[in-house]
Structure 1
């Protein structure tokens, strides 16, 4: 029997539509794959999935009784890992069949729980380490490169924390960002890099960086520096976000 390869558009709704298709067509050997990673072969049957909001909603509603597991499904999708669809489909099929969403003896359920924990840790670190720069247009901008696609998870935090200022957080690794216009958060696509940001910065930003560095140095007590503890709490890969470590 040929494997059925379900090619979808890479959106979360597209993935849920593909899962709906697996149940609707009663596919017994399905493999869901994002279209950008799809490679045709002679041993598989291609099924192109077109995103359907209604079908996606029905799958999402079907998982309503398993709130923690639903979180794992969404966060596993945001991981961007190449085999995420395999674990998500396998886990959903198991949970819907057994009604046991906390059986970590099941490989896919365990894998998704582990991914969810990793993404949660990345989310909290982004919320702690993101630093904004003020532009000449009075929009505050931050460029990040998280391991996972956490922008959808941190948007609410920054909207609540900086409700009185317009801001952009741009994910350089994934070439998109979020923009808060004082009313709502929107997802945006733009060509953005450090050079563009430097040219757009407000003149006072350089002085703020210098002042912050001076404060950081003057308040530090050399005899109490614990480098190992510091690296554990603030890993080096986050230093590029911090004014006191690497100002623009």
Structure 2
């Protein structure tokens, strides 16, 4: 048996193309990894898979047709993880799901289409519900970790009002979850323009009042904070520090509920606020 590794560009489309290549070449690669995370073993054959949108769309339709749209949504979510073995885990799950051919069925469930394909209520035959299977278990673990990171971003994103009436938030998530939070924030900002920038994955989600889109960029040139924003940040920081009860300070509990890696983008956790007009 030949030890083969497939590499792709790290995107969902690239991963789908790698899955297609495994079927087309009649191969079962040992590893499916992004090109930046590859650590080839001695004697391992490496095949680089080019991203082709037409091929990726073909695989997407095939998964939706054979396994159901919720299974593909789960594949899409899991692919956003930063875990180094994400590609291999998703690849093995797709092969398993396609072989099982059991679409996720929400018939009769009160949570229809709102579980993200993760719940197992009334869905005993769903491949997503086979949580004890050694292929499904790590896949669902990836899914949960991505959704947990999405939830953290919904909690801890802090928007700033910039000149030009634009709201801006910067984050450093442990998974590329900006695509998963844009709909949620767009529904709440309604017609107000905003931008969320992921400084880890160099990805910006931009909403202009009607639709949102993603932009891949390594740097941003932003307007200055508005005068009102500088005043409000300083006031919020002072309020946060004032209501703190020193005798109940518990740094371990704080880090548990508010991961320290996120603090640099949270206003109340900054030591100083650059450009503030109010002394702290």
SS for the counterpart of 1:137 is coil
- Provide the alpha-carbon RMSD of the alignment: 2.8
Q: Is the 8 A contact 2:158 2:265 kept in 1?
A: yes
Residue 277 of structure 2 corresponds to none
Distance 1:219 1:43, change over 3 A: closer
Q: Give 1:136-175 correspondences, 5 Å limit.
A: 136-175=163-202
After TM superposition, the structure 1 = structure 2 runs for residues 220-239 of structure 1, keeping only pairs within 5 Å, are: 230-239=254-263
Q: Post-superposition shift, 1:83? A: 1.1
Give the aligned partner of residue 186 of structure 1.
Answer: 213
Alignment length, in residue pairs?
245
For residues 13-92 of structure 1, the aligned pairs below 5 Å read 13-29=13-29, 31-38=31-38, 43-64=43-64, 65-92=67-94
Tell me the residue number matched to 2:229. 205
Contact 1:2 1:43 in 2 (8 A): no
Against the structure 1 CA distance between its residues 33 and 238, is the aligned structure 2 distance closer, same or farther, given a 3 Å change threshold?
closer
- Once the two structures are overlaid, the 10-residue window that deviates more, 202-211 or 26-35, is 26-35
1:94 is matched with: 96
Q: Which 5+ residue runs of structure 2 have no aligned equivalent?
A: 103-126, 275-280
Q: CA 1:46–1:191 in structure 2 vs 1: closer, same or farther (change >3 Å)?
A: closer
8 Å contact 1:159–1:180 — kept in the other structure?
A: yes
- CA shift for structure 1 position 223: 7.4
Residue of structure 1 in register with 2:116 after alignment: none
- Matched residues in 1 for 2:252 and 2:202: separation? 33
SS of 1:200 mapped into structure 2: coil
Deviation at 1:132, TM superposition (A): 1.0
Question: 3-state DSSP class of the match of 2:205?
Answer: strand
Which residue of structure 1 lines up, in the alignment, with residue 240 of structure 2? 216
* TM-score, normalised by the number of residues in structure 1: 0.84
Shift of 1:210: 1.8
- Deviations along 1:169-193, whole A, 9 cap, x unmatched? 1111122211112222121234447
Contact 1:131/1:242, CA 8 A, preserved across alignment? yes
User: Greater shift after overlay, 22-31 or 160-169?
Assistant: 22-31
Query: Using the alignment, how far apart are the partners of 2:39 and 2:247 within structure 1?
Result: 58
Residue 117, structure 1, aligned to residue 166, structure 2: no
Q: Give 1:165 deviation, angstroms.
A: 2.0
The alpha-carbon deviation at position 122 of structure 1 amounts to: 1.1
Q: Structure 1: give runs of 5+ residues left out of the alignment.
A: none
**2: CA distance, partners of 1:110 / 1:90:** 11
Shift of 1:227: 6.3
TM-fit CA distance, 1:163: 2.0
